[in-house]
Amino acid sequence: MSNNNPQTQHWQDLSSAHHLAPFSDYTQLKNKGPRIITKADGVYLWDSEGHKILDGMAGLWCVAIGYGREELVQAASAQMRELPYYNLFFQTAHPPALELAKAIADLAPEGMNHVFFTGSGSEGNDTVLRLVRHYWALKGKPEKKVIISRVNGYHGSTVAGASLGGMPGMHEQGDLPIPGIVHIAQPYWFDEGGDMSPDEFGVWAAEQLENKILEVGEDNVAAFIAEPIQGAGGVIIPPDTYWPKVKEVLARYDILFVADEVICGFGRTGHWFGSDYYDLAPDLMTIAKGLTSGYIPMGGVIVRDEVVNVINQGGDFNHGFTYSGHPVAAAVGLENLRILRDEHIVDNVRAEAAPYLQKRLRELLDHPLVGEVRGLGMLGAIELVKDKATRSRHEGRGAGMICRQFCFDNGLIMRAVGDTMIIAPPLVISHAEIDELVSKARLCLDLTLEALGG
Ligand SMILES: *Cc1c(COP(=O)(O)O)cnc(C)c1O
């Protein structure tokens, strides 16, 4: 693609000369250069060439209230003037972090009243690993160390986050997972359900948790960690039988349950947390992304009272980050939560936006390339297939990548996970913008089908 704006080339040159990008194909990036995003408003982005793009991914799942909210800018600048930085180490604290902890506790499930702040979701899951092991050690069971996670789960990109996650491509690089983390099957019926019905498969996948607990030994297991809905794995909505059965298993064994709410938290499912939607009653919840609508980095872990009571008797917890509870991030988070609450955004997702998005998305099921459309709240997935009945793929053709490129070129950001197209638009997307998203998606499915040879 040739550039209209000479600045584009300048920035692409800087990219190739000086920047190492996260999660990018380096060979491709070197040849082609990145698309340069220069501004945003509402649900739209603009690139340096002046193209307007509907952001069907809310950035990376995070821009819940949409771009361009002046209130968050004001909150950040006011806090920068008052107290731009101080830490929460060594018996100090500051008002924004404490006010935000209270605001989060007010929204969290019953009995979860404390927050440990971090700079990101990955740091949140590192904190989870440290915290759950510390908890069991204090309870006199230091051998309870193993954390059970799921294949194709995503829990971040630090060493603990990537280890807890079940992404083979991430494990290959850097000799992961670290010891003490084991993985079980994911509840991904479309790709892995075989001849089972979704309900049968959901029970089977939940039973893998019990099998693993028995294999490792209950006395060695600290926790099970899972996203209520796997996001980066491909917006995998578990079969209806999955979570009820997992809850049954968890009730039989003395292990902690960690819900990674980094995507599901703060309204994405039409409830404050995915754990509310599925009634999961976790012991810990990892949060980030929607907490600040991505305007500034922040994450954390919400911890159940019972766990807090134990660690409160344990003296030092030797863990924390320079930017834990950063005052500017906390001020932005507080204002973001105020907007989500006062503008009834989560209620509106549940009552209006999500039902409309889900209804419109499912219309794509009549497309010859589409084997399944699934979704919940403001999350959606479209499975690209060769044969609808057998759920077989256009093997080795890169259908997802082809579709993603057509989307980009036609003013829509949809992400591809293999041959699964996924969306997670800002929670504030209007019906007219949903119409635009769905019609652009259909156009790009047509173009993809054509490129694959019909
Ligand atoms: C994005 C994500 C993380 C990691 O958060 P970062 O802020 O990128 O470190 C962890 N868990 C889930 C479920 C995520 O989607």
SS (H, E, C) the chain: CCCCCHHHHHHHHHHHHHCCCCCCCHHHHHHHCCCCEEEEEECEEEECCCCEEEECCHHHHCCCCCECCHHHHHHHHHHHHHCCCCCCCCCCCCHHHHHHHHHHHHHCCCCEEEEEEECCHHHHHHHHHHHHHHHHHHCCCCCCCEEEEECCCCCCCCHHHHHHCCCHHHHHCCCCCCCCEEEECCCCHHHHCCCCCHHHHHHHHHHHHHHHHHHHCHHHEEEEEECCCECCCCCECCCCCHHHHHHHHHHHCCCEEEEECCCCCCCCCCCCCHHHHHCCCCCEEEECHHHCCCCCCCEEEEEEHHHHHHHCCCCCCCCCCCCCCCHHHHHHHHHHHHHHHHCCHHHHHHHHHHHHHHHHHHHHHHCCCEEEEEEECCEEEEEECCECCCCECCCCCCHHHHHHHHHHHCCEECEEECCEEEECCCCCCCHHHHHHHHHHHHHHHHHHHHHCCC
**274 within ligand 1 shell (Cβ under 6 A):** no
Going by CA atoms, what residue is nearest to atom 6 of ligand 1?
Answer: 121
Residue 164 class from Cβ within 10 Å (0-12 exposed, 13-18 middle, 19+ buried)?
buried
The predicted pLDDT at position 272 comes to 98
The predicted pLDDT at position 48 comes to 97
At 210-235, the pLDDT tens digits run 999 999 999 999 999 999 999 999 99
**268 within ligand 1 shell (Cβ under 6 A):** no
CA gap 36, 56 in Å, rounded: 17
27-36, 70-79, 375-384: least confident range = 27-36
At 49-65, the pLDDT tens digits run 999 999 999 999 999 99
The predicted pLDDT at position 3 comes to 79
Per-residue pLDDT at 31 exceeds 90: no
At 287-321, the pLDDT tens digits run 999 999 999 999 999 999 999 999 999 999 999 99
* Residue 317 near residue 311 (C-beta atoms within 8 A): yes
How many CB atoms sit inside 10 A of residue 401's CB? Answer: 14
Per-residue pLDDT at 1 exceeds 60: no
CA 282–ligand 1 middle distance (angstroms): 18
CA 167–ligand 1 middle distance (angstroms): 13
**231 within ligand 1 shell (Cβ under 6 A):** yes
Per-residue pLDDT at 428 exceeds 70: yes
Q: Which of 263, 273, 321 maximizes ligand 1 atoms within 8 Å of its Cβ, making it the mutation to test the pocket?
A: 263
Per-residue pLDDT at 431 exceeds 90: yes
Which residues have a Cβ under 8 Å from the Cβ of 247 and sit 6 or more positions away? 279, 280, 281
CA 262–ligand 1 middle distance (angstroms): 6
The predicted pLDDT at position 4 comes to 86
**Mean pLDDT of all residues in 24-32:** 91
- Ligand 1, residue 157: give the atom nearest the CA: 9
At 99-130, the pLDDT tens digits run 999 999 999 999 999 999 999 999 999 999 99
CA 439–ligand 1 middle distance (angstroms): 30
**262 within ligand 1 shell (Cβ under 6 A):** yes
pLDDT bracket for residue 2 (50, 70, 90): low
Give CA separation, 380 vs 56, 234, 314, 366, in Å: 10, 9, 43, 16
Per-residue pLDDT at 334 exceeds 70: yes
Q: Which of 23, 120, 273, 417 maximizes ligand 1 atoms within 8 Å of its Cβ, making it the mutation to test the pocket?
A: 120
Q: Which of 159, 262, 292 maximizes ligand 1 atoms within 8 Å of its Cβ, making it the mutation to test the pocket?
A: 262
CA gap 94, 226 in Å, rounded: 32
- Ligand 1, residue 122: give the atom nearest the CA: 9
CA 341–ligand 1 middle distance (angstroms): 23
**Mean pLDDT of all residues in 32-38:** 95
CA 91–ligand 1 middle distance (angstroms): 29
**299 within ligand 1 shell (Cβ under 6 A):** yes
**Mean pLDDT of all residues in 15-32:** 93
